[in-house]
Amino acid sequence: MAVNADVMTFPLFINGKWEQSGNQEFFDVFNPANGEVAARVAKGTKEDVDKAVTAAREAFDHSDWKMMKPKERSNVLHSLARQIIANAEELAYLESISSGGTIRRIGSNDILQMADLFQTLANFVLQYPFSETLPSPPFPGPAHNFIWREPIGVCAAITPWNMPMLIACWKIAPALAMGNTVVIKPASYTPLSTLKLAEILSAELPDGVLNVVTGSGSEVGEALVSHPKVDKIAFTGSTEVGRKIMALAAGTIKHTTLELGGKSPNIILEDAELDIAIPGSLFGVFLHSGQLCESGTRLFVPDHLHDIIVEKLVQLASKLKPGNPLDSRTDMGPVISKKQKESILAYIEEGKREGARLVCGGKEWSVPGCEGGHFIEPTIFTDVTNDMKIAQEEIFGPVLTVIRYSSVDEAIKMANDTIYGLAAGVWTKDVNKAYKAARELQAGVVWINDWHMLRNDAPFGGYKQSGIGREMGKHSLDAYTQLKHVHTSMVPEIEHKSWYGLLFSETDEG
Ligand code: NAP
Ligand code: MG
């Protein structure tokens, strides 16, 4: 297949170097802001997965990587953070032209979050209980006992297209911090920044420790999650694919963590400071054009404040500026693809059909200078009931559903009436009401008077069908280690090993 010399091309990244895929084929990666080809990327195969897993296995089994002392490993993690900052501009550019995320967000938030995650884990590694000594047991006899925390082995990471680089780091950083090796398969819409990231980070790592295989979920993804030499899977994506991956992982009983979808409830209480709650709720749902798993897509408002809240939401949403994500003045970029745009527009039609009232947006957004891009206006529905499809299914686009409530108990009940449980939020001036709601909301994170406030030292993950396990924080390190109990007997004389009598009725005293 001929490759246009003007278009960037990316091979696979295996064993510390760029490698052509076995079939020498490529696929196109499009810029969602203009619909043009942004790059061509190697179309990996099952054989390429095997090659990458073999490199990762070799690096795990036969290098000093897994035995590195915590201080040394901490230094490596700090140097990875520095590499991210040193290459910030190129990484942010590649991320923006493929994911459609604004350069303002990626450059000023994601890149810093990524570097900070490596630094945060570098500090945790120094305090991590890699080896704990237990007290000598009174029974059955004296012994030395350790609990060791050891790396799991080869970790397969599979990531989505919305924030590909940041989410890749949520998996790569703790895996490396604990001495594992990694094979990552990025989403086919957005593999560019992950490939570049792997090249940059690998300058500080032994060959084979970090590998990238690009290609389809059905071929590369499935080959990876069912490969017998992979020990752990860390997946972020839809609940639907998460279910499939969990089933595939069962074949070889792999450690599995899943970060899945959400339909997060956001409750404005009647005493809330509306001047913060209203812009905050729009920030919660329209950042990255609604393509964040923890977006606050269901807004619960008190009956008597409904009209005033909706009026202000619409006023403010109408001021958001679409544009080229590379322009730092752009508030909202495109959605990821034509297919995603069509799926969002179909949900909007479904909302109208179900009887919800469209009060803002609802159409494709035409953006001068970005013809061919996939933009959708910030969209707000009122008269939504919690059982409607637009209130229950993850739309993954800029669509807010507003639901009335008459009592806080009713709001919490509706908030929890979903298969998901990723995030939730409540706006109030009353700290007692805030904590009561936070206790009752079934979600892995609850924001009070704010949204999107993830921290690198706090765990993130889902309740219910939003996932299994947690990323970030010191808790994430546990997901990349396995526990070993080591017992050393301090009883050298057979006659004092009375517990052998559980088997032998007589001992040979002669
Ligand atoms: P997706 O369709 O589930 O895909 C996610 C990843 O899985 C992609 O790399 C995809 O590859 C791969 N994949 C697809 N089918 C597979 C299979 N059968 N076996 C193995 N891998 C397979 O999700 P998406 O559309 O990229 O992203 C949006 C979803 O991610 C939303 O549901 C969102 O809520 C969720 N998300 C969750 C979090 C969180 O932290 N909880 C964060 C961000 C996003 P291809 O791209 O090649 O299809
Ligand atoms: Mg998908």
Is 226 found in the same domain as 108? yes
The pair of structure tokens assigned to 114 is 């990524």
Give every CB contact of residue 30 below 8 A, 6+ residues apart in sequence.
36, 37, 38, 98, 189, 337
The string of pLDDT tens digits covering residues 58-102 is: 999 998 999 999 999 999 999 999 999 999 999 999 999 999 999
Cα separation, 443 vs 447, whole angstroms: 10
Rounded to 10 degrees, the C-alpha dihedral 80/83/84/88 comes to 180
Distance from Cα 222 to the centre of ligand 1, integer Å: 12
Is 185 found in the same domain as 119? yes
Average per-residue pLDDT for the chain:
97
Length of the chain: 510
Q: Residue 297 sits in which domain range?
A: 265-448
The string of pLDDT tens digits covering residues 229-250 is: 999 999 999 999 999 999 999 9
Q: Yes or no: say if 25 and 32 are a contact pair by the CB < 8 Å rule.
A: no
Is residue 14 assigned to a domain? no
Cα separation, 381 vs 400, whole angstroms: 6
Is 381 found in the same domain as 338? yes
The string of pLDDT tens digits covering residues 399-425 is: 999 999 999 999 999 999 999 999 999
Name which residue sits closest to atom 46 of ligand 1, judged by CA.
187
Is 251 found in the same domain as 340? no
Is 79 found in the same domain as 95? yes
Instruction: Name the active-site residue from 19, 259, 377, 471.
Output: 259
Question: Percent of the chain at pLDDT above 90?
Answer: 96
Is residue 303 assigned to a domain? yes
pLDDT at 297: 98
Place of tokens 């900052």: 85
Ligand 1 close to Cβ of residue 259 (< 6 A)? yes
pLDDT at 139: 85
Is 360 among the catalytic positions? no
Q: Is the pLDDT of residue 5 over 80?
A: no
Is residue 408 assigned to a domain? yes
Is residue 453 assigned to a domain? no
Look at the chain and report how many structural domains it folds into.
2
Written as one string, the DSSP assignment of 10-38 is E-EEETTEEE--TT--EEEEE-TTT--EE
Ligand 1 close to Cβ of residue 212 (< 6 A)? no
Distance from Cα 236 to the centre of ligand 1, integer Å: 6
pTM for this entry = 0.96
Is 289 found in the same domain as 176? no
pLDDT at 507: 55
Q: How far is CA 168 from CA 37, 40, 97, in A?
A: 23, 20, 17
Confidence of residue 509 (pLDDT cuts 50, 70, 90): low
Is 231 found in the same domain as 115? yes
Distance from Cα 160 to the centre of ligand 2, integer Å: 7
- HEC per residue, 256-283: EEEECCCCCEEEECCCCCHHHHHHHHHH
Ligand 1 close to Cβ of residue 467 (< 6 A)? yes
Question: Percent of the chain at pLDDT above 70?
Answer: 98
Is residue 30 assigned to a domain? no
pLDDT at 1: 35
Closest ligand to residue 396's CA: 1
Q: Yes or no: say if 49 and 115 are a contact pair by the CB < 8 Å rule.
A: no
Ligand 1 close to Cβ of residue 245 (< 6 A)? yes
Ligand 1 close to Cβ of residue 422 (< 6 A)? yes
Is 293 among the catalytic positions? yes
Is 313 found in the same domain as 397? yes
Q: Which atom of ligand 1 is nearest to the CA of 186?
A: 9
